Structure formats: C-alpha cells, structure tokens
Amino acid sequence: AEVTGVQTCALPISLTYPHPSNTMFGGSKAKPRHPLSVCADCGSPGPSWASVSRGVLICADCASVHRSLGRHVSHVKCLNQGAWIPEQLLMVQSLYSCGANSIWEYSLLNPSSSKSGKKKPQPTDPLHPNKADFIRAKHQLLNYVFKPAKDDITVTESELSRQLHSSVRTPNLETSLRLLSQGADPNYFHPEKNSTPLAVAGKAGQACQVELLLVYGADPAAVDLSGKTAAEHARAADRK
C-alpha cells in the first residue's frame, strides 16, 4: 500500500559536502545547483530520503511513491533517521555524487534516443498523477534506462555479468550499477575465475561494491571452489 505523510528529515552532514563541478542534474549556468541538493525525480530542493537500490536522493513526496512500489523495486531510507550501515551510506553518497541518476534517466538526457518525448516533472507539479506516473515509469518499468540493440552480442546477460565480475574489484560503483541496471547477474559464477562478483569484491576489499551487490540480491552464503564465502575473503583481505 502507498505510504503517505512520509516524514521529512534533514540532510546529514556526511551528504552535504561541496562539489561545485558536478552540475549534471539541475541549476542554471549562473547559479549551478549541486545534484545532492535536489530530488532526483522532481528537482525539489533539500531531498531528505534516499533510494538505496537506485543510488539517488529524493524528496519526502517522491519517497512515498517509491515506498508504494515495494522494497524489491526501490529500498528507501531517511537520511537522518534510523540506522545506516556506514558502507551503505557511503555507497549512496558515492553513486549520487558521480551522477548515478543518469542511469535511470538515460533517454531523457539523450533526446536523440528518446521516442516518447516524456519530460521530467517539476517541483511544483502535483504528486498524483504527474510525479507518481513518472516515478513508476522510471524506477519500476525502467522506461528510460539504456536499451541496447537486440543484435548487440556485447550486452548479453552473460557478457554483462562478466563485466560486473571485473568491475567490482575496483571502486567504480557507477559502472557496476549501470551493468546491474542492464541485467547483469549479481550471483554470476565465472567459469574461468571460479568465483562470484561478491567474492571478488570481498577479496579486493571493496566494501561499497559488496554492499551494492547485496542490495541487488547477491547471496552472501555462496561459496567459490575453495569453499569460502565473500565475507571470509574480505576478512582474509583485511588481515593482509
């Protein structure tokens, strides 16, 4: 059921650091607005919620729609209330500050590839139907994500999963999220490497990559051919 009256909470200090060079999502040339200061879905100032699974910050109104979609679509959390796993907070901070919203609005940011001509709602638009319909199209139906040509063999699920397996050993969260949005399997078992992305991220000490994979359904109990889980690899990496 849809949740209304979502409580607004202040943006925590850890998510308000200045980053004046990044003005991808809002603001004018004269007075650029850092993307951390506006809702990813409607542009309202002072977002106080986060969609952990989408790596974006959203306002309280948009958060109520996200919650109605279900946690399997968008896991939302208040930025300044409740318990945050430090790695999860850092993951959201890192994704949004590097422009992860462009993953979910690819065709909107690339008019030449857009067929619908759909526009993003404004802060003053009504929540229903304008913002709610847009949020469902963006986050539930994934209408605006990059859709490769059907005959492009470089973007099969297997190839995307192989790329994810390689990406998670680095700190580049946006690449991993982009691959996941296109269908990469977080539980992919690499036949040559004999490991899953989660094991690779744990062994490489990439805590935020581990958190991202877990958010997308990676199995923490999965073992590689050596019989070790990702957590065991991470502990071994910490001891080195």
- Average pLDDT estimate for 110-117: 62
State residue 8's pLDDT score: 36
pLDDT score, position 126:
96
CB atoms within 10 A of CB 226: 10
Is residue 143 a contact partner of residue 135, using CB atoms and an 8 Å limit?
Answer: no
pLDDT of residue 22 exceeding 60: no
Q: Give the mean model confidence (pLDDT) for residues 229-239.
A: 75
Position with higher pLDDT, 33 vs 4: 33
**pLDDT value for 156:** 87
56-95: per-residue pLDDT in tens?
A: 999 999 999 999 999 999 999 999 888 898 999 999 999 9
Q: Which residue has the higher pLDDT, 14 or 135?
A: 135
CB 50 within 8 A of CB 92: yes
pLDDT at 167: 97
- Edge to edge, the sheet with strand 49-51 lists 56-58, 49-51, 76-78
Which residues neighbour 207 within 8 Å (Cβ) at sequence distance 6 or greater?
A: 87, 90, 234
> Tell me, what's the pLDDT at 154?
66
Is residue 197 within a helix (H) or strand (E), and if so which, with residue range?
helix 197-203
pLDDT of residue 231: 80
Specify the length of the chain in residues.
240
Query: Which of 199, 198, 208, 205 is CA-nearest to residue 174?
Result: 208
Mean pLDDT of the chain, nearest integer: 82
Predicted pLDDT of residue 21: 26
Task: Report, as an integer, the average pLDDT of 135-145.
Answer: 95
> For position 4, what pLDDT does the model report?
32
Per-residue pLDDT tens for 195-211? 999 999 998 999 999 99
Give the pLDDT of residue 118.
73
Whether the pLDDT of residue 213 is over 70: the answer is yes
- The torsion of the CA quartet 76, 79, 82, 84, rounded to 10 degrees, works out to 90
The answer on pLDDT for 42 being more than 70 is yes
Q: Highest mean pLDDT: which of 3-12, 87-96, 163-172?
A: 163-172
- For 47-83, letters b (16+ CB in 10 Å) and e give bbbbbbbbbbbbbbbbbbbbbbbeeebbbbbbbbeee
Predicted local confidence at residue 14, as pLDDT: 42
